[in-house]
Amino acid sequence: MKKSVLIILFLVSWVLFASLGTGFGIFYQQQKDLIGEKDIQSTLKALSSKNIASVIAYGQVTKIDSRDITISYLGDSMKIFIEDGCKVYLIGNSAGGPSEKKEISFEEIKIGNHLNITIKIMPDGQIIGQSILIL
pLDDT, position 23: 75
Kindly report whether the global pTM for this prediction surpasses the value 0.85: no
Phi-psi category of residue 108: left, alpha or beta, with phi > 0 → left and psi -120 to 50 → alpha: alpha
Q: Point out the residues of the chain with pLDDT beneath 70.
A: 1, 28-38, 93-97
pLDDT, position 62: 95
pLDDT, position 109: 93
Integer Cα distance of 27 and 32 in angstroms: 9
User: What are the φ/ψ torsions at residue 98 (nearest 5 degrees)?
Assistant: -70, 160
Strand partners, 90: 102, 134
CA dihedral for 135, 121, 64, 103, sign (positive or negative): negative
CB 62 within 8 A of CB 71: yes
SS3 readout for the chain? CCHHHHHHHHHHHHHHHHHHHHHHHHHHHHHHHCCCHHHHHHHHHHHCCCCCCCEEEEEEEEEEECCEEEEEECCEEEEEEEEEEEEEEEEEECCCCCEEEEEECHHHCCCCCEEEEEEEECCCCCEEEEEEEEC
Neighbouring CB atoms inside 10 A of 64's CB total 16
Taking the domains of the chain in order of start, what are their residue ranges? 3-34, 52-134
pLDDT, position 45: 77
Q: What class is the 52-134 domain?
A: mainly beta
